[in-house]
Amino acid sequence: MKKLVNHPEAVVREMLEGMVLAHPHIVKQVEGTTVLVRTHAPIQGKVGLVSGGGSGHEPSHAGFVGTGMLDGAVAGEVFTSPTPDQVLEAIKAVNGGKGVLLIIKNYSGDLMNFEMAGELAEAEGIPVRKVIVNDDVAVEDSLYTTGRRGIAGTIFVHKIAGALAESGASLEEVERVANKVIQQVRSMGMALTPCTIPAAGTPGFSIGENEMEIGMGIHGEPGIERIAIAPADDVATTLVNHVLEDMKLTSGDRVAVLINGLGGTPLMELYIVNRKVAALLQDQGIQIHDTYVGEYMTSLEMAGCSVTLLKLDDELTELLDAPAQTIAWKKERRNPSGDTRE
């Protein structure tokens, strides 16, 4: 195993310490926990947003803690759900008096532990709501889930729900818009290589030198088929066609596009994928409002990518475009003159 770590059992703790040291103006750590929250949390009179899951998906989830997105993120061990007591600490740390929304990816461990933490928080008088992200169109059920998996589309839920919460909206309003995003976002991924959990020391699965897996999950869960390596255009076409088949978009619809790297894929390759995705959508008459290319929800050092489409309306567009400041959310925006700004 070749990894730049000290001790496998310390990777999460040392990662979080390093993040806080690098970005103290954005995040702080709740003492004695694996929870990162906004530096000025809790923010009174604002709905708190908490997400999280197993580590190894960086920059998710702590990378999206900050103004206009999450208030807190809980880091479990690598590919392992955080415990209920850790999630509870996050809820308490971000509660500003208007309640807390839990944004949960649809994995059995996350569901069980986040829901248990929410019940414990409500017993302490904190209003809690939850939404469950299930954007992966590849697999309906797996060893990890009942129903679809939650993958990179979760980032759009963080961004849009976070923008509405930042405006002072109620817990019910933030829950509503988060569910609206979930209903209108779909993703599908693929992998070229496996990844290695530090504590295991060996790859989590094997894949041939000349093979790729279509529909693979972010923990290495099986996809829909394993095929010979194909050109980027063919891969992009396969992923987009599966997403479009599920979404039923029509000419004139407007979308946001996320081309997400899984940790070991150069930006060069992600932009090549995006080139074909844009052409496919243009051919269908689908308007692209904005495109995001980079690493948003990874799988350690796995080579591969996912494609996410979010169907937009005026409300979602305004919230997507609202300003945000986190470690990982960096996006140029255009003003009416056509110039760019952060």
Query: Residue 165: pLDDT band by 50, 70, 90 thresholds?
Result: very high
Contact 270, 259 (CB under 8 A): yes
Q: What is the pLDDT of residue 14?
A: 98
pLDDT value at 335 more than 60: no
pLDDT value at 143 more than 70: no
Sheet holding 254-261, edge to edge: 225-228, 211-214, 185-191, 304-311, 254-261, 287-294
Mean pLDDT of 208-219: 94
Alpha-carbon Rg for the chain in angstroms: 19
Residues annotated as catalytic (active site), given as ranges: 57, 219
Angle at 84 between CA 202 and CA 66, to 5 degrees: 85
pLDDT value at 41 more than 60: yes
Amino acid in position 205: F
Lowest mean pLDDT among 25-34, 134-143, 238-247: 134-143
DSSP-based three-state secondary structure for 17:
helix
Q: Tell me: the pLDDT tens digits for 46-91?
A: 999 999 999 999 999 999 999 999 999 999 999 999 999 999 999 9
Pure H helices in the chain: 11-22, 84-94, 108-123, 154-166, 171-184, 232-247, 267-283, 314-321
pTM over 0.75: yes
Angle at 48 between CA 44 and CA 50, to 5 degrees: 150
Joined together, the tokens standing for residue 79 give 């590919």
Mean pLDDT of 23-30: 98
CA distances from 36 to 137, 152, 253 (A): 30, 20, 37
User: What is the rounded average pLDDT for all residues in the chain?
Assistant: 95
pLDDT value at 251 more than 80: yes
pLDDT value at 176 more than 60: yes
**Could you give the CA distance from residue 58 to residue 69 in angstroms, rounded to a whole number?**
16
Domains of the chain: 9-183 (3.40.50.10440), 185-341 (3.30.1180.20)
DSSP per-residue letters across 88-100:
HHHHHHH--SS-E
Angle at 106 between CA 326 and CA 116, to 5 degrees: 90
Question: Whose CA is closest to 326, among 13, 63, 6?
Answer: 63
